[in-house]
Amino acid sequence: MRYEFRARLVIPAVTGLAILAGCGGPTSAATPPAAAESMPPAAGSGQDAPVATNTVAIQNFAFSPATVTVKAGTTITWTNRDSDAHTVTAMPAGSFHSPTLNTGQSFQYTFTAPGRFDYLCTIHPFMTATVVVTP
Ligand SMILES: [Cu+2]
C-alpha cells in the first residue's frame, strides 16, 4: 500500500519537468489552428527568411520574426509579449544592450550602419535572432 502511494507522488514531479523542458524550445504546437490560418507563415516555415519590418515581438521565448531586414537609419522596436523578462543584446557585445524588459515593455535601437547584427537574450541565451541592415 505504502509503495503504491509513493509511486503516485512521482507523477506530478515528472509532469513538472516536462513543462519546464518545453520552455526550452519553440512551442508552435500551442498556436491555435484558427490563429495560424489567419497569420503569415512566419513561425514555422520561414524562420531563416528575412522579414522587412521594424517591429519584433518577444514571444514564447523567441524573437519573432527571427531575422528582419531594414534600411540603414531604421529604428527597430522590440516588445516583450512574454510573462518572463527578456533582454535584447548584441551578440558580440557592444552596439546595443537593452535593460531587462518586463512584460509589455519595449526597447528601441536605430541601426545606422549596414551589416549583419546578431543578438540574443542574456537571460535565455538560446534565444538568438538577427537584424540585417542594408544601405
Ligand atoms: Cu529571455
Ligand 1 center from residue 101 Cα (angstroms): 9
Ligand 1 center from residue 86 Cα (angstroms): 4
Task: Look up the pTM and report it.
Answer: 0.65
Ligand 1 center from residue 72 Cα (angstroms): 26
Q: Which of 120, 2, 129 is nearest to 68 (CA)?
A: 129
Grid cell digits, residue 127: 534565444
Q: What pLDDT is recorded for position 47?
A: 54
Q: What pLDDT is recorded for position 48?
A: 64
Ligand 1 center from residue 25 Cα (angstroms): 12
User: How far is it, in rounded angstroms, from Cα 68 to Cα 126?
Assistant: 18
Q: What pLDDT is recorded for position 94?
A: 77
User: How far is it, in rounded angstroms, from Cα 97 to Cα 69?
Assistant: 19
Ligand 1 center from residue 71 Cα (angstroms): 26
Q: Which tens digits make up the pLDDT trace of 23-32?
A: 444 444 444 4
Name the burial class of residue 121, with classes exposed (0-12), middle (13-18) and buried (19+) by CB atoms within 10 angstroms of its CB: buried
Ligand 1 center from residue 75 Cα (angstroms): 21
Q: What pLDDT is recorded for position 23?
A: 45
Ligand 1 center from residue 18 Cα (angstroms): 19
Ligand 1 center from residue 48 Cα (angstroms): 20
- Beta-carbon contacts of residue 61 (< 8 Å; ≥ 6 apart): 23, 24, 26, 82, 84, 124, 126, 127
3-state SS, residue 67: strand
Superfamily holding 50-134: Cupredoxins -  blue copper proteins (2.60.40.420)
CA 100 to chain CA centroid, nearest Å:
14
The maximal CA–CA distance of the chain, rounded, in angstroms, is: 73
Ligand 1 center from residue 15 Cα (angstroms): 23
Q: What pLDDT is recorded for position 2?
A: 45
Q: What pLDDT is recorded for position 92?
A: 84
Q: What pLDDT is recorded for position 43?
A: 41
- Which residues does the chain have with pLDDT short of 50? 1-46
Ligand 1 center from residue 63 Cα (angstroms): 9
Q: What pLDDT is recorded for position 50?
A: 82
Name the burial class of residue 87, with classes exposed (0-12), middle (13-18) and buried (19+) by CB atoms within 10 angstroms of its CB: buried
